[in-house]
Amino acid sequence: MKTLKTLIFAACAATVMSCSSDDDNREITAPEESNGEITGSELVGEITEDSKLLASIEYTITGSLTVKEGATLTIEPGTVIKAKSGRTDVFLAVERGAKLMAQGTATNPITFTSDAASPKAGDWGGIVLAGKAPSNKGTDVQSEVAGLFYGGTTNDDNSGELTYVIAEYTGAKINGESEFNGISFFGVGSGTIVNNIVVNNGNDDGIEFFGGTVNVTNVFCSNIADDMFDWTEGYTGTIDNAFGVRNDGFDVASEDPRGIEGDSNGSDATATPISMPTLNNVTILNLNPGVALKAGAEIRRGTVATINNLLFATYGSASFENRIDTADDKGDGTVTLTDAYAQGNVGEDKIGGDINGAITVIEDGITVTADNTVTGKAGIGADLTAFDWASPSFVVIK
């Protein structure tokens, strides 16, 4: 394999609304002895050979950055990657057959954030990965953002690793139908390692799975305008230890923000594979009295979900309209609950399909105080201490 690594800069990505400057149409090469280390601070275009981002350099993504099939992008622990704010063509995409090895640590996480002096939700796109695992939309589907093809028959497909990764101020809106999420998994397989992930201040969903089989452990979504955790197209993976929260004062919201939204297929609820994820140890918390969550979990359009150890909670006058909603005119859903709890103003269930299992009303699943302290009770919902490495902050009603 050649040791000369090249970062090719494209003038404009085919799927975006606007082009970068003419200076983007250039080529940056790393010396042969660098082992693919990218030493220029500006990132845009196509990575066609194995390359590495260094913690010693503060990078800025200024347009679409795509890891091409056959290439691997490695990111060192502690690397900070900023994104040029205010545009819809700024994102990191990993093609089917490529890999992203973002291996941070608890003491040196990898951070993707906005370059704005006053950052806000929607400043840039987000992280988009495509794989060869099944989708009930087909085996050669194109993603709604970044223009990646995904899907296939390889359940254990490997798109790399995301460990101790923070993505902030994501969710740029392209048009009324297409918006980036914090992290999007399109047909990503179970050979991909994903754990200890944080999405903060997103203008659409926190994380979303479009088919695929990837498993995720320890995922925290804070201040998400739409759905904290979302899946569709036959997702069959497992999500372990998930915590979603909307803080007081985060008033950016879609028409129907939810903790969890689970679809299988909106055109054909019987399309296979059916979405059948398992969620273990989940807490959905609303601290914002000005924005009600439409549902703690909306399980619909053919989805069959299993949720073990679930807590829906609010503080003060914050609320949910519904706890679990399984009714939908494009197909009802089915959810099986084990050890499910509700605390605060979390509404009632809206049953269209089946809800198997009961939700127990409690008063001490989570403790929230006016000095911005949030504490979970051991054994109830998510283990919040798993996210101490990210130093999460909470804003509660004063």
Omega prior to 109 cis, within 30 of 0: no
Q: What's residue 10's pLDDT?
A: 34
- For residue 11, pLDDT over 70 is answered with no
- Percentage of residues of the chain with pLDDT beyond 90: 87
323: exposed, middle or buried (Cβ count in 10 Å: 0-12, 13-18, 19+): buried
The pLDDT value given to residue 393? 93
In the block, residue with structure tokens 């990965």: 129
- Average pLDDT over all residues of the chain: 91
Comparing 6 with 334, the larger pLDDT belongs to 334
Q: Closest by alpha carbon to 275, among 232, 334, 329, 335?
A: 232
pLDDT tens digit sequence for 154-167: 999 999 999 999 99
Q: Which residue has the tokens 């205010």?
A: 86
Identify the CA nearest to 297 among candidates 315, 311, 287.
Answer: 311
What pLDDT does 148 receive?
97
The model's pTM is 0.93
Residue 54's CB is within 10 A of a number of other CB atoms, namely: 16
| pLDDT tier at 398, thresholds 50, 70, 90 | low
Give the tens place of pLDDT for each residue, 95-131: 999 999 999 999 999 999 999 999 999 999 999 999 9
What's the average model confidence in pLDDT over 289-318? 97
Looking at 17-26, 80-89, 284-293, 340-349, which range is the least confident one?
A: 17-26
Q: Residue 128 carries which DSSP code?
A: E
Least confident among 27-31, 39-43, 219-223: 27-31
pLDDT (0 to 100) of residue 370: 79
* C-alpha radius of gyration, the chain, whole number: 20
pLDDT band at 27 (very low <50, low <70, confident <90, very high): very low
pLDDT at 207 over 70: yes
Q: What is the mean pLDDT of residues 217-221?
A: 98
Whether 30 has a pLDDT exceeding 70, the answer reads: no
- pLDDT score, position 141: 97
CA distance 305 to 180: 25
pLDDT of 34? 65
Q: d(Cα 8, Cα 40) in Å, to the nearest integer?
A: 12
Q: What are phi and psi of 367, to 5 degrees?
A: -115, 130
Residues 6+ away with beta carbon under 8 Å from 197: 162, 165, 166, 167, 183, 207, 216, 218, 219, 220
Region 278-301: mean pLDDT is 98
Q: Tell me the CB-side half-sphere exposure of residue 57, using CA atoms within 13 A.
A: 15
Does 83 score more than 90 pLDDT? Answer: yes
Evaluate if residue 26 carries a pLDDT over 70.
Answer: no
Question: For tokens 């989570």, what's the residue?
Answer: 366
Give the CA angle between residues 24, 131, 83 to the nearest 5°: 35
Q: With a cut of 80, say whether residue 21 has pLDDT above it.
A: no
Question: CA 105 to CA 7: how far, in whole Å?
Answer: 26
Q: What are phi and psi of 34, to 5 degrees?
A: -85, -10
- Phi and psi torsions of 87, nearest 5°: -130, 155
Q: How confident is the model at residue 174 (pLDDT cuts 50, 70, 90)?
A: confident
pLDDT at 296 over 60: yes
- Per-residue confidence (pLDDT) for residue 31, from 0 to 100: 43
3-state secondary structure of 32: helix
Q: What percent of the chain has pLDDT over 70?
A: 90
Coil/strand/helix, residue 29: strand
Q: What is the pLDDT of residue 344?
A: 97
* Average confidence (pLDDT) over 35-64: 95
For position 28, what pLDDT does the model report?
35
Q: Residue 172 — very low, low, confident or very high, per pLDDT cuts 50/70/90? A: very high
Report how far apart, in Å, the C-alpha atoms of 40 and of each of 101, 115, 125, 371 are.
Answer: 19, 17, 21, 43
pLDDT in tens, 359-394: 999 999 999 987 889 999 999 999 999 999 999 999
Residue 177 clears pLDDT 80, i.e. is over it: no
